[in-house]
Amino acid sequence: MKALFIGGTGTISSAITRQLVEQGCELYLLNRGTRSGNLPAGVNLIQADINDEAQVAKLIEDHTFDVVADFIAFVPAQLERDYRLFKDKTKQFIFISSASAYQKPLSDYRINEGTPLSNPYWEYSRNKIACEDYLMKLYREEGFPVTIVRPSHTYDERSIPLGVHGRKGTWQVAKRMLEGKPVIIHGDGTSLWTMTHNSDFAKGFIGLMGNLHAIGESVQITSDESLTWNQIYEAIARALGVKLHAVHAASSFLDACSTEDYRGGLIGDKANTVVFDNSKLKRLVPGFTATTRFDQGIKQTIDYVLAHPELQTEDPEFDAWCDKVIGALEAAVAAVKQ
């Protein structure tokens, strides 16, 4: 198989890249080369900015592919560019959408590909919906061989997956845990969430590549493991070797007192209970099973982050915000008890 990834070095795509190379795929990555030092041997790098359409067209002039996958498209205009570049050069075009595009609030916590797409809280999700609409129109009217993939919360060894964190990443929350400080969990922590290790996601994704039955289809790829947010934070604390000190706060309250996009990221996504029905994926990719349990995967992540100081980006602004929020909640409790 000859494949081209636009991107190929992110949380989701890096695991797919590694597994494809191990399987002997002729894999090309089209990106700016800023992470090329981490690429496995055997990957062919086409170094360019995908937004420079003329340059990319010239670089791929003599190539055709079995699969082209765009991991970094977020708005329809980027897919219009992709269509111009690849409409006659690939047998399958895979677009990475998002499970956050599913209807919010959910009418049924059990999600499958037939769940309506509607998210009034998050522009990111609405843009992904618009991208899906554009591609499916091309499939119906032009025969463009599209497959849409919807990941949910997928994580790797480089970043700790969390619900509430600052704009500089999630390390500051882990640092608070290590220092014995309280950390904020949105809601009461009992809503269900799904975490998927990127190595498991990669197995499902590769099974869709070159798969005739996946053309014209939308497919979600997630683990079947459901966890409460309390369980997620407890697992992270255990991996760090510390006791969890949790403070719960309503998602609407966190959104109201923050400059972060908690309206989209929480109210439009993580504050909702989600349980995924992966029956469609398992029909298309017989034998697919997500095998990395969260407590095992997060231990690998914590060990890796602790061993790599460059991943430990501190966020004093978020840290101070957490202290203010927790102080305000404690003051409110004290005032009511008077």
pLDDT at 52: 95
Burial of 286 (0-12, 13-18, 19+ CB in 10 A): exposed
pLDDT at 261: 79
pLDDT at 34: 67
Q: Please list the residues that pair with 117 across neighbouring strands.
A: 102
Provide the token pair at 129.
Answer: 């919906």
Rounded-to-10 torsion of CA 16, 272, 292, 125: 0
Write down the domain spans for the chain. 2-155+196-221, 171-194+226-274+292-337
**pLDDT over 80 (residue 338):** yes
Secondary structure of residue 217 in the 3-state scheme:
strand
Q: Tokens 């269509």: give the residue.
A: 83
What are the residues whose beta carbons fall under 8 Å from the beta carbon of 168, sequence distance 6 or more?
313, 314, 315, 318
DSSP label of 212: G
pLDDT at 33: 78
Domain 2-155+196-221 in CATH 3.40.50.720: yes
Distances from the Cα of 118 to the Cαs of 102, 128, 191, 289, 299, in angstroms?
Answer: 6, 10, 20, 28, 35
Mean pLDDT of 188-195: 98
Q: What proportion of the chain, given as a percentage, has pLDDT over 90?
A: 93
Q: Using one digit for the tens of pLDDT, what is the confidence trace for 284-317?
A: 999 999 999 999 999 999 999 999 999 999 999 9
pLDDT at 37: 62
For the domain made up of 171-194+226-274+292-337, the CATH class stated in words is alpha beta
Say how far apart CA 222 and CA 276 lie, in whole Å. Answer: 7
Q: Residue 28's CB: how many other CB atoms inside 10 A?
A: 20
Mean pLDDT of 244-269: 94
Provide the token pair at 278.
Answer: 């992966």
Q: Using one digit for the tens of pLDDT, what is the confidence trace for 89-137?
A: 999 999 999 999 999 988 898 999 999 999 999 999 999 999 999 999 9
Mean pLDDT of 67-83: 97
Nearest to 138 by CA among 151, 128, 148, 125: 148
Mean pLDDT of 323-334: 96
Q: What proportion of the chain, given as a percentage, has pLDDT over 70?
A: 99
pLDDT band with cut points at 50, 70 and 90 for residue 218? very high
Q: Using one digit for the tens of pLDDT, what is the confidence trace for 2-55?
A: 999 999 889 999 999 999 999 999 999 999 876 666 788 899 999 999 999 999
- DSSP per residue, 237-279: HHHHTS---EEEE-HHHHHHT-SS-HIIIIIIIITS--EE--H
Mean pLDDT of 311-324: 97
Please provide the average confidence, as pLDDT, over all residues in the chain. Answer: 96
- DSSP per residue, 129-191: HHHHHHHHHHHHHH---EEEEEE-EEE-TTS---SS-BTTBSHHHHHHHHTT--EEEETTS-S
Say how far apart CA 128 and CA 150 lie, in whole Å. Answer: 10
Q: Using one digit for the tens of pLDDT, what is the confidence trace for 222-231?
A: 999 999 999 9
pLDDT at 39: 83
